[in-house]
Structure 1
Amino acid sequence: MNKSLKPHVTLAVITATALLLAACGEEEADGADAATPTAAQDTRRIINVEVVTLQTQDFRDVIRLTGTVAADREVMVSAEAGGTVAEILVDKGTAVTTGQILVRLDDDLLEAQRNDARAQAKLAEELWTRIGKLFEEDGIGTESEYLQARYTAESATARYALMEERLQRTTIRAPFDGIFDTRLVEIGSVVAPGQAVGSVVDVDPLKVTAGVPERYAADVVVGAAAGVSFSDLDVTGTASVSYVGARVHSGNRTFPVELSLETPVAGAKPQMVADVTLQRRLISGAIVVPRQALVRTEDGYAAFVVESASAATAVARQVTQGPSANDRVVITAGLSAGDRIVVVGQHQVADGDLVRIVGE
């Protein structure tokens, strides 16, 4: 009887063991399935970032140029007559006024000729007066004698005036108020007619000259506001466009402009370099972002926008850039007012990453 029961006991034990193992397997599987979401959540990285919320604002689009300071007027003063320099009455660097004598040439010979011409003119005038009186009142003499005396007197007077003018040309004067900036002659120098003896510059006010690329031809007009800065002096000033050139330079494709400084700039001198910002236009309601918020991509540039649904997620958006100034860029497409964009940590995140906003 014991022999007949043995196979049945063994089969029961095997069946029970199999059921126990299956039950344990299901419990382990259920435990593994329950642990899976937790493990996935633990492996997703969360990156700390700082954000700014975009708002519309006005943006001044400017043209940046490098200009040169110039005197309002500058001329080379030349001798109208030839001769030897006899006197230099003004030292270089001295302020002068209109008509002030700068240099005088030796005029002894011309002065003697002028005096002779004056005497001849006076004599001829007296003879004409006497002959005219005798001819008109007493009928003495002929008309031809009277006319001859008249023409002689007029010729002598003209010669005297000519000699006086030549004598005046030996004196070289300042053409306007300014600074006698350079002197090119010394006492005893022989100068020819038209030879420069020095220069006079008018530095009150100063102006700035610059070349503007031709693509901005429609944007620059007389009266446009501008800013001027001098890095060597660490000062800035305001200016306005006073002249716009009518032609484009064929070499560098720029047209000239001149700007009048509206406020004096202490220490500024002609030929100094100045940084010029010309206001091109005012863009109202623009979306403006810090330049560092943009990340270069294969398709251009993108900004990371933090979207809050169930969790804060960084989403990459391709953007289209407009004009820029300093560290600010106008975005013409891709972003809207109210977007929160990453400005710190943008190079550590990828599209779809979870982020933690700090600094708010």
Structure 2
Amino acid sequence: MKSTIYKFIALVLFSTLAIACGSSPAGDKQAQLDSLKQQQASIKEKIELLEKEIALENPTATVVKAKDVGAMEVTTRKFDYYVQTQGRVEAENNIMLSAKGMGVVTQVYVKEGQSVAKGQTLAQIDNSVLVKNIESMKSQLELVTTVFERQKNLWEQKIGTEVQYLQAKTNKESLEKQIAGLNEQNEMTKIKASVAGTIDEILVKVGENIAPGMPAARIVNTTELKLTASVSEAHVTAIKTGNKVIVSIPELKKDIEARVTFVGKNIDMLSRTFPIEVSLPYYEDLRPNMSAVIKVVFQTEPNAITVPINIVQELNGEKIVFVVQSDGKNTVAKKRVVTILGVYNGLAHVTGVAAGEKVVTVGYQGLSDGQFIKL
């Protein structure tokens, strides 16, 4: 059988040389090269076939050189299916503060980037007239209160008339209400933080006129962040509150695991998407308006057969891997057609191979069906 191989090789080589020599020296050299390569591939294929036949007829023969490969055993594992979309980081508390009073700004007490507490005064509108009126009324209130206390004592002793007592009481209560009203107006001249957070923008300056409703400052609380995104209506039944989410922040080169906290009920007429929100854990470098890629897990296969996606090759329109087969004497690589059900994190969930089988993971390039291998 071995002599048959050599005779076959010699015959092919002789034919090849005859063809090459018969060509015109000025002929198409590229065509000759292509022809020789085709013949070389054909020779290689026929040699491999003959070597396999020899090995089967005589297992002790040393004709075939096995290819060194690496392999891994196929196991089952949990595999997540997800839908991927784009999202944006937002602050739970991103508040634009506006003025409640009218007047000239006399003081700005904070700077951009400064942390502030809830209720802290950020800026002051001119309140000098109000303060004077309040002080004047407080002086009047002292007098009216003294008169009321005396009338009350007299009335309790049955001295004086009830009208005098009631008049003194009314005067006192009226002034107290007026002072309370002025104090409320005075509070409206102060621009205060409605939540704790960081001053992101200051929109007023000392000396500027401001009116009710005009924006004065923006406060952002970066300790409570969320991610907002839109998901195709095709997944409306799969995405639910509590679904696991993998959030990838390109700027931070970080993946964050979180959960869906809100699923919108309304489908956008133009984009045919619905909104979702994801509550994010605190990270120092996480900022509002950062972009993110989110993967929402909508199905989990607990016992999936997975293989590295890079070992799956395409041949004649089919996805294939090579599995290791051994009869105790010879070990060969067998082509196995697989179907990819899903891909995630470098792994493919497939059908076509079984747990416990070994798939070739190193040296799979260039393997042919039935080729002898060595692990």
- Describe the shift of the 1:65–1:155 C-alpha distance in structure 2 as closer, same or farther (beyond 3 A): same
Indicate the residue corresponding to 1:335 in structure 2. Answer: 353
Q: Aligned-residue CA RMSD in angstroms? A: 3.5
Partners of 2:352 and 2:308 in 1: how far apart?
Answer: 15
1:85-96 → structure 2 map (5 Å cutoff): 85-96=105-116
- Describe the shift of the 1:301–1:108 C-alpha distance in structure 2 as closer, same or farther (beyond 3 A): same
Indicate the residue corresponding to 1:268 in structure 2. Answer: 286
Structure 1 runs not aligned, ≥5 long: 1-30
Q: 8 Å contact 1:49–1:355 — kept in the other structure?
A: no
Deviation for aligned residue 1:188: 1.0
Structure 2 runs not aligned, ≥5 long: 9-44, 52-65
**Residue 82 of structure 1 pairs with residue 87 of structure 2:** no
Partners of 1:42 and 1:290 in 2: how far apart?
Answer: 32
Which structure has the greater CA radius of gyration?
Answer: 1
Deviation for aligned residue 1:128: 3.4
- The C-alpha deviation readout for 1:161-217, integer Å capped at 9, x for no partner, is 010111122122223332111000111111111222101112225443334445165
**Residue 197 of structure 1 pairs with residue 216 of structure 2:** yes
- The C-alpha deviation readout for 1:307-327, integer Å capped at 9, x for no partner, is 45677353342x332232132
Deviation for aligned residue 1:53: 4.1
Indicate the residue corresponding to 2:303 in structure 1. Answer: 285
The residue identity in structure 2 corresponding to 1:75 is I
- The C-alpha deviation readout for 1:111-166, integer Å capped at 9, x for no partner, is 1222233334344433333444444434423x445434433322221111010111
Indicate the residue corresponding to 2:197 in structure 1. Answer: 178
Indicate the residue corresponding to 1:59 in structure 2. Answer: 78
Partners of 2:166 and 2:208 in 1: how far apart?
Answer: 47
- Describe the shift of the 1:126–1:225 C-alpha distance in structure 2 as closer, same or farther (beyond 3 A): same
Indicate the residue corresponding to 1:152 in structure 2. Answer: 171
Indicate the residue corresponding to 2:186 in structure 1. Answer: 167
Partners of 2:312 and 2:7 in 1: how far apart?
Answer: 34
**Residue 109 of structure 1 pairs with residue 114 of structure 2:** no
1:44 to 16, 25, 49: 49
1:209 to 212, 225, 228: 228
Which one is further off, 291-300 or 192-201?
A: 291-300
Q: TM-score, normalised by structure 1?
A: 0.73
The residue identity in structure 2 corresponding to 1:92 is E
Partners of 1:206 and 1:321 in 2: how far apart?
Answer: 37
Partners of 1:75 and 1:36 in 2: how far apart?
Answer: 84
Partners of 1:45 and 1:339 in 2: how far apart?
Answer: 28
1:118 to 117, 135, 138: 138
- Describe the shift of the 1:45–1:276 C-alpha distance in structure 2 as closer, same or farther (beyond 3 A): farther
The residue identity in structure 2 corresponding to 1:283 is E
The residue identity in structure 2 corresponding to 1:233 is L
Q: Secondary structure at the match of 1:44?
A: helix
- Give the count of matched residue pairs: 318
Q: 8 Å contact 1:212–1:257 — kept in the other structure?
A: no
Q: TM-score, normalised by structure 2?
A: 0.71
**Residue 356 of structure 1 pairs with residue 372 of structure 2:** yes
Q: Secondary structure at the match of 1:185?
A: coil
The residue identity in structure 2 corresponding to 1:284 is P
